Amino acid sequence: MTSFSIHGVGVSSGIAIGQAHLVSNALLEVVHYQLPKHLINDEIKRFSDAIATVKADLEQINSSLRKNAPAEISAFISTHLMMLEDKSLSEIPKEIIKNEQCNAEWAIKLQMDDIVDQFEQIEDEYLRERKQDVIQVVERIIKVLLGHQNQLTSAQQTSVLLQERKLILVARDISPADAIQFKQHQFAAFITDVGGATSHTAILARSLNIPSIVALQRARDLINDGELIIVDGDIGVVIVNPSKEILAEYKLRQEQWELEQQKLQRIKTTKAITIDGTVIELFANIEVPEDVAAAKAAGATGIGLYRTEFLFMNRRDMPDEEEQFIAYKAVALAMKGAPVTIRTLDLGADKQINPDSVVSCANPALGLRAIRLCLAEPHIFHTQLRALLRASYFGHVKILIPMLCTLAELRQTKLLLERAKQSLRKDNILFDENIALGGMIEIPAAAINAEAFANELDFLSIGTNDLIQYTLAIDRTDDAVAHLYNPLHPSVLKLISMTIKAGAKLEKSVSICGEMAGDAKMTKLLIGMGLRQFSMHPSHILSIKQQVLHSQLEQLDTQARKVLGLTDIEKIEPLVAKFNQL
């Protein structure tokens, strides 16, 4: 057997060794055929029955969740159930069956393609990835129509391998509902052909702490069922049919990694303080109120980024003030006085109030998004600001404004915030009169002008994902240029340094809430640059804390100045590697 490797994007660290277990892709099996008129009603009923079956399956999975199951999973399953209720999936395919006299599988696939095309127009990367929800729901429906719904539990036949955690899932994609069943079967890891750093697959992998690699392109085609494979989630590599030498090496690395994970649990309650006594705040990023449990379990001292987009997704109506207030209040109460930074709506240019209305945009990432959209739709913004202010009465809530570019935008935002406060005073509704207002620094123009923003804000938060993308003119979702996306580019480091210095000069706190915050290889460099607040996915907190506990400011400050003085990535990378040996 020939040994070979496949490269993808590692989204959850760790090493797994086991046999490949292939999951079929129902979408690839869909064919088109015409139906005589007298069978159309029967076909429509067959489609309706499939919808009902999928609903029942998802509801059963949701009700059987263990109490300690990650909150993300229940939220994602609820999202899929909401999609099944939407007419775009439950009713429009019936019209297609009737009008085109075609089979149900083909009708739902046509409708899925249309919806996915609309999602592709969305500029926000995170929301664009949500098209995978639609695909996953449709795939479940098609599996029922094709009679394949039992494939998801076929792994029960390999119970011995499962008990030993030696099965690795290989699929084109994995839905949250599927992941629940896989978790119950104790798979060692999973790898997929599609997905990105912000896909549900990636989020679930991190929450379940399962080694995972996505964007492998053709792994499902190249790997045979039962083949021995190694999944290296740290570097995003899958090794198929490894040699005895490579297998022995990885078994040793796997043992070392598992031992390290056990050791990390010992510092869960230890405060994040450097060797010379400097306190570093480690906050968590969350998407839904239920995520607070994972944040607290990981030892987060606050919520550094609460993305509110989930409240607005997968629906035709906007959440009203009361619905938003209940969600924000729940997080504030759960954190019991610890800081909760809530980012205002960060949707894309063409993500309209009515999801059926898609506005074309030549460069979506540069269009009407985030605060630009909120200022263009003040009634939506006013509703959210009132809900946020009301929630502030129940905890230490802070408001974060995304994608600021000009001081004019900031001043207009502050004016609208004051109007929201006045409306609450008029209604005799209590809120925190001194609520802190912060701004995201994720556009190079804002980083260059960071001091001016710091002068008018209470705190700054650096969104490194977009900052890197905009600075380097690289779409990190584009496989052709993703390898050029490098947080150690000297221009990126200089913009981060400028922002941190601006905050220090004006005594305003600065945090990083992008992927860099959860990358342990970057921790000491960022501390040396002056960063004192990190916000990341809860699963990364302990590894970052470990780096903090082994940091000494005097050494790191000297090394950071050397790094910032360099202009060549090839010289920066080895120097940063030395950082982590200090």
Residues that are catalytic:
200, 513
User: In which element (H, E) is residue 281 found?
Assistant: strand 281-286
> Which runs of consecutive H residues, i.e. helices, occur in 28-175?
40-63, 71-85, 87-90, 92-100, 104-120, 125-128, 131-146, 159-163
- Distance CA(186)–CA(321), nearest Å, equals 41
**Tokens representing residue 326 in the block:** 């209940």
Q: Residue 226 belongs to what H/E stretch?
A: none
- Are 97 and 47 a contacting pair, CB within 8 Å? yes
For residue 239, how many other CB atoms are within 10 A of its CB?
A: 19
**Pick from 268, 280, 331: which is nearest to 303 by CA?**
331
Report the distance separating Cα 383 and Cα 381, nearest Å. 5
Residue among 37, 53, 35, 10 nearest 141 (CA): 53
CA 500 to chain CA centroid, Å, is: 25
DSSP letter (8 states) at residue 192: E
Cα(526)–Cα(509) distance, integer angstroms? 14
Sign of CA dihedral 371, 376, 378, 384: negative
Residue count (the chain): 582
**CA–CA gap between residue 373 and residue 366 (Å, rounded):** 12
| Pair of tokens at residue 268 | 């869960």
* Cβ atoms of 209 and 15 closer than 8 Å: no
